[in-house]
Structure 1
Amino acid sequence: MFADRYLEKNQHKILIDELPEAATGIIVVIPCLRETELTNTLNSLNECDLPKCRVEVILLINQSEVANADTIRLNTQTKAEADKWIAENPKSGIRFYTVGPVNLKKKWAGAGLARKKGMDEAISRFNTNDRKDGILVSLDADTLLAKNYLVELEKHFNEHPKQVGATLAFEHQKQQLGEKHREGIDLYELYLDYYKRALHFSGYPHSLFTIGSAFAVTAEAYVKRGGMNRRQAGEDFYFLQNLVQMGKVGEITSTKVYPSARLSNRVPFGTGPILQKWMKGRRT
């Protein structure tokens, strides 16, 4: 199988006992930590038009091995709510699995290791059927999706079989935001767009958006790249910047993901911390 050596090297232990269907071609991985609105993302996925291949969704509920009592309580609650939702929302063509809560080593606990655990499990499942062309999708637990999300993912990789990955168009959720909060996320999106355009203008050949909830990679490319890194933040940026050295990373603009614009301090930098600074009147 194409990923045997990778899985052995990373000492991966199977997290889902049920075998994947042979026709599984897309696996969406969602790391979950202290999530309170996960069912919105699950409903959004379940309402998507389904592609020709089978789809799986892996919810990797995670916490540090030294997590506080409140985090453990919230993660346990998330697991129970997710299991209940899955039992009440069966749908042919797409399967949802909850894993965890998984305790992560204190030294590495964070977004990178959580995403890696889930993605490595997806690789293990693709490896079962030797699906090196399987599409491994990164998503977050606070993100909504256009109805054609899954269909366009399948279509893109079918039309561009030599691409190793792709980013997806995105726009943060803004409907319920106050004026200052909305102004902050609008400016942040302008900054991201300006940064990408500036890289292209400078002559850098691999300018792309690096949003954790808005990219996909082929199973074979993920393994050859060495898997996801264990960075506590910015794991998406470093993963994609390394991936483009292997081959073409395309852009899917025919669908869109809608990440949350929530305030957060769970990671050292990124959307949440930047918005927190903005709401406090700080611009740097």
Structure 2
Amino acid sequence: AGIYLFIVNDIATDPQRILFMLGFPTAYLTSLVTVQYILRLPKFDFFNRIIAINIIVYSFLGLALSTLRLPLVSREVFLSEFLVSSVLLIIYYKLLNRYFPLRIGVLVHSPFEPFYRYPALNAVQIDAAAIEPNHFDGIVTNLRNESDPETTNLFARLAQQRIPVYDTDNLIERLWARIPLGNLTSIEIETFRPPTFYLGIKRLIELILIITALPLIVIICILIAIAIKLDSPGPIIFRQQRIGFSGETFVMLKFRSMLTSGNHETRFAEKKDSRITRVGKTLRRVRLDELPQLWNVLRGDMSLIG
């Protein structure tokens, strides 16, 4: 009854309150629809894309509220609504892909293993002669090869039913962020080098973003450093030489997420690696172990994108 009276007497009688209350669910629904459209096919960087989509939507919402000069807007409410909506979008996307994965048909002459082991896909190997297109959300094949009449007929049927056909190499890159080098053309290799103007603009944007967020980043880094030191003995920062732009070597920085010992065996960390510390598991899960790499970005050793 109290909530009903509050809505009827306080909110419904004030148009500005109504606009304020409707702004956040509208922003959330806009982000949700955009995420479903852009990320219909799973991508390796879905987390970054969801955050970027939500930032853009809430930027427009903030601009609209400022234009309307609503007196109820506060930074705390706005920030909390943004964070809650981002968490809800990520949870929704992960649950959707886990319980309702896309059913993808992989033609027999295409590699099957990269799609079969991808967690958000239900991949099935099929033959072009014995396929029911309406049983799949998409078909994967090597579009670089010449198609025989049977495959061409299949593509025509798929186009009529609006079922997308994905190129094998392009889809592997989209899912795993890795480019199969075997079938690259000279034109594709040339596109790896972006224009100088783009590099300059990207560098400027990266510096602005990092410097703007620097106070928050410093606080988070201090807390992480304390947690690492309390959890296990050893240095806070892990250093490793990497190959950067134009083949130049640099020292990459990360928060240490593994135990230090006299065993210098070199191997990649596995999913349930016993060397990973308790704090390290959390850092790796949310990618906070990579925060020190922002120093590499400021130095120009690395880039936020690419």
**Common topology (TM > 0.5):** no
Scaled by the length of structure 1, the TM-score of the pair is: 0.24
Name the one with the larger strand percent.
1
Structure having greater relative contact order (Cα 8 Å, sep ≥ 6): 1
Scaled by the length of structure 2, the TM-score of the pair is: 0.22
Name the one with the larger helix percent.
2
Q: Answer with 1 or 2: which has the greater Rg.
A: 2
